[in-house]
Amino acid sequence: MEIFNIPKGNRILFEAELKPIQGERFQPTGFADVGAGTFVLPDGRRKLLVESVQSVANRMESALIGDDNRLKPEFEGLSYIHVQLTGESKSQTSSLVEAHRINSPFIISDESFRQKFCVAAEYEKGKLLDWKRIAKALFYYDINSLLHGVFLANLEDGRVKVARAVSGFIEADNVREAVSGGVKNNPLDPTGTLRAANYDKDVYGNVPYQRVEYTAEKIMAYFLIDLGLLRSYKLEPEAFELLVNLSLYKIQFFLSEGLRLRTACSFAVEGRIKVAEPDGMAIPSMEDLTLLIQRGIEKCRQKELLGESPLEIVTNTKIKKKENSPDKAAVAPSDSTE
């Protein structure tokens, strides 16, 4: 394994050109009530957001997740929180998969954990925040919250908001729509009048639909590791190195194993990953990064910078009952006086 020296600048920028693995068309991410995220540059060129920052973050997080929402064996020792649910649910979850990591109500509602975190972060309502202590506490209890960001809206007065230290997105340049369509066939009754006796939702019959995909002159994936942000936390050198190596691994994982984004959106890297900044930096392989991470975990655990792996908590659950709709008979008639 070659020695990897972390650059001294404030950031590392990566670029990778992507190509559909078959044909020219691809299906971008869609947004509720908006559709595809198209936009126009000042020179008139049309661009498209193929994958958002938030989606790429979720996909990079999956690099470490193994069975039962736990870490893959090769990364054991990294800090995270595993939750056994009791009561109405007998399932389990963890900060590796919860949408808001340790801000998940299944995690932050645990009184014991919340008190431990507040003590470690020196967090008190009405007291100025000590971001170095907060970063140290996040590293100790859930390292991914420090890498991918966390907004602890469910903690007291909701003032702790940590930005992502590693992020990425995919854009397509000079795009054109590729419109097609199809039909969902009902072999029994195309009209939809024949229905199951106990299922009367309007999902029967033949249903034609339109499909919009895209072609592009170029598709690029962009990644940022914010070294300046990580350095600002003043963590131990071993902790800083572990965070950077984890970030590099997550990016490499996404580009090598995570580019099947949707049914009609599978990419492959065209050529080599380019380091846009700093000049001359070489990217360690995933194998080398795995070894660097394992050594980093060992060093951090020797210094007690990482907490239990995982920290096990138990959370009781209940099912919220739906409120009854208003009784129509009790509603005042429209012509009544106020």
With pLDDT > 70 as the criterion, what percentage of the chain qualifies? 95
How many other CB atoms are there within 10 angstroms of residue 142's CB atom? 27
Domain end call among 164, 189, 213:
213
Let me know if residue 154 belongs to a domain. Answer: yes
Same domain, 194 and 169: no
For the chain, give the mean pLDDT. Answer: 92
Same domain, 183 and 40: no
The answer to the question of residue 333 being in a domain is: no
Find the DSSP H helices in 187-236.
227-232
Residue 135 shares a structural domain with residue 164: yes
Overall number of domains in the chain = 2
The letter for the amino acid at 261 is L
Residue that wins the pLDDT comparison between 308 and 333: 308
Q: Are 68 and 188 in the same domain?
A: no
- Tell me if 323 is assigned to some domain: no
> How far is the C-alpha of 133 from the C-alpha of 123, rounded, in Å?
9
Rounded CA-CA distance 164/167 in Å is 6
* 326 domain-assigned: no
Whether residues 165 and 236 fall in one domain: yes
Instruction: Show the tokens assigned to 288.
Output: 């080398």
Confidence of residue 332 (pLDDT cuts 50, 70, 90): very low
Mean pLDDT, range 198-221, rounded to an integer: 94
C-alpha span between 141 and 120 (Å, rounded): 10
Does 4 fall in a domain? no
Are residues 274 and 310 part of one domain?
yes
- Tell me which residue range forms the domain holding 189: 178-213
Do 207 and 60 reside in the same domain of the chain? no
Write the pLDDT tens digit of every residue in 262-281: 999 999 999 999 999 999 89
146 and 160 inside one domain: yes
- 233 and 166 housed in the same domain: yes
Is residue 95 located within the same domain as residue 145?
A: yes
Cis peptide before 278 (omega within 30 of 0): yes
What is the structure's pLDDT at 337? 33
* 68 found inside a domain: yes
pLDDT value of residue 322: 76
How far is the CA of 52 from the CAs of 10, 226, 260, in angstroms? 23, 18, 15
To which residue do tokens 């693995």 refer?
21
- Report pLDDT digits (tens) over 216-252: 999 999 999 999 999 999 999 999 999 999 999 999 9
Listed in sequence order, the residues at least 6 apart from 210 whose beta carbon sits closer than 8 Å to its beta carbon are 179, 180, 181
Same domain, 114 and 157: yes
Query: Given pLDDT bands bounded at 50, 70 and 90, which one contains residue 323?
Result: confident
> Is residue 300 one of the residues assigned to a domain?
yes
Share of the chain above pLDDT 90, in %: 87
**Tokens representing residue 260 in the block:** 């099947």
